[in-house]
DNA sequence: CGCCGCATGTAAGAGGTTACATGATTCG
DNA sequence: CGAATCATGTAACCTCTTACATGCGGCG
């Protein structure tokens, strides 16, 4: 390989989840979409081959649960080497991923679109983020009812990140929408 | 192809830039890194094949400028069909891309790392965003607080998005760092 | 009786990054 | 005189997504 490995983050997500208990591929997918979808996601079709690779590398083990005639359920557990690999990755600096915000790209090319189209995009985005804010706040309240236990502390922090980010997005949308309205009034005069 | 085309956004970025004047691949790359890197980026190695494809599809034309013994400079210009394609894309709803925030993933797995490591990551991230905020504010001031001319109006909006986002990130970092410090004090007691 | 949840996996390929290859010119 | 800029392009390769393949069991 010439291109230096941009190491798959999927494998670390898997190791991280398995670090708090054995799970099947299906379980992992569910956990991702139900708990951390606000900052991370995985597609099920990618999970299986990566689990296979982790197995081959000895970072996880696999046990099979056969229940009647259903497809065999494979439960994966992290090994000592897997834990080491996870801890190594956790210590490594976060690699910044260059942003690609499609909505800003469209806005940047705004001169080639109608104001109505732009406003429509921003409004849709605003609603999206407003919904997210509501969800995040609901989750936060649910977590916040109890004292900061170890198992929810970090989840709560990520939820707060979502709250901050959504609020900022809303404020920005309102700014942009106001400016677009001012422009429309000017054009009307 | 079975997987339904997630249409390359690179091609639209190219068309959008070419819509305000002919450029070479090299020029496009420079413009991306110098002007819109805060929300978009392209790698030069990917630009050339995509330009080639746009040429084959008749969305751009190419003229060659030979200057002495240097590699021939290819200048691309958008065609009427290219403009149509761009405008079509601009009208289409923004496709939301599921987030993957590595720093939050590491934080979420915080139970398997030392508090010092986590704090280090957050501090690094904070500095990063503080730098970005400074840059964004400088650019914003340069663009001029008020008279929104058409050619800077949309750029300014994207810069404002960066300002809002960076401020939110800083506030979040401070919150998290304070919580980590409180935890450390508790552990000390 | 139809849909959803459970459950695994493969195939195809898009999209994108990095390294390599090559060489002139400009500037400090 | 060495580094950066100009300038294009190819090769290798990886990551990840989507679609396909398959089928049971429970619930409304």
User: Are B24 and A116 a contacting pair, CB within 8 Å?
Assistant: no
Question: For the whole model, what pTM was predicted?
Answer: 0.95
Is strand D in 7 Å reach of the CB of A95? no
Structure confidence by residue, pLDDT tens digits, A10-62: 999 999 999 999 999 999 999 999 999 999 999 999 999 999 999 999 999 99
Nearest protein residue by Cα to C1' of nucleotide C24: B70
Residue A79, SS3?
coil
Q: Residue A149 has what pLDDT? A: 78
Structure confidence by residue, pLDDT tens digits, B105-121: 999 999 999 999 999 99
User: Which ranges of chain B have pLDDT less than 70?
Assistant: 1-5, 67-69, 145-148
Q: Residue A147 has what pLDDT? A: 64
User: Which ranges of chain A have pLDDT less than 50?
Assistant: 1
Cβ pair B94:A103 closer than 8 A: yes
- Rounded to whole angstroms, the distance from the CA of residue B186 to the C1' of nucleotide C12 is 54
Q: Give, in order, the Cα–Cα distances in Å from B161 to each of A117, B130, B140, B156, B167.
A: 19, 14, 11, 9, 10
Provide the H-helix boundaries in chain B: 9-18, 25-31, 44-56, 80-91, 102-108, 115-143, 150-188
Q: Residue A150 has what pLDDT? A: 76
Cβ neighbours around A19 below 10 Å, total: 17
Q: For tokens 């956004």, name the residue.
A: B9
Structure confidence by residue, pLDDT tens digits, B83-111: 999 999 999 999 999 999 999 999 999 99
Nearest residue, CB atoms, B86 vs list A40, A100, A112: A112
Residue A149, SS3?
coil
Question: Chain A contacts of B94, Cβ < 8 Å?
Answer: 102-103, 106, 121, 124-125
DSSP A112: G
- Rounded to whole angstroms, the distance from the CA of residue A71 to the C1' of nucleotide C2 is 22
Nearest residue, CB atoms, B171 vs list A37, A111, A164: A164
Cβ pair B98:A41 closer than 8 A: yes
User: Are B129 and A169 a contacting pair, CB within 8 Å?
Assistant: no
d(Cα B74, Cα B48) in Å, to the nearest integer? 10
Is strand C in 7 Å reach of the CB of B79? no
Is strand D in 7 Å reach of the CB of A68? yes
């Amino acid at each position: 390989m010439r291109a230096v490995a941009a190491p798959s983050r999927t494998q670390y997500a898997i190791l991280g989840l398995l670090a708090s208990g054995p799970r099947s591929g299906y379980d992992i997918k569910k956990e991702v979409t139900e708990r951390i979808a606000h900052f991370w996601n995985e597609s099920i079709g990618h999970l299986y081959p990566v689990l296979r690779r982790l197995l081959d590398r000895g970072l996880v083990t696999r046990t099979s649960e056969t229940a009647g005639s259903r497809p065999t359920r494979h439960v994966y557990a992290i090994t000592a080497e897997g834990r080491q690999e996870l801890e190594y990755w956790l210590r490594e600096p976060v690699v910044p991923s260059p942003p690609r915000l499609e909505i800003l790209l469209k806005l940047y090319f705004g001169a080639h679109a109608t104001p109505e189209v732009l406003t429509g995009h921003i409004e849709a985005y605003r609603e999206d983020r407003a919904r997210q804010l509501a969800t995040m706040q609901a989750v936060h309240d649910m977590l916040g009812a109890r004292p900061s236990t170890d198992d929810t502390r970090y989840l709560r922090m990520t939820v707060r990140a979502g709250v901050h980010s959504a609020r900022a997005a809303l404020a920005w949308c309102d700014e942009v929408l106001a400016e677009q309205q001012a422009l429309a009034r000017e054009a009307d005069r």
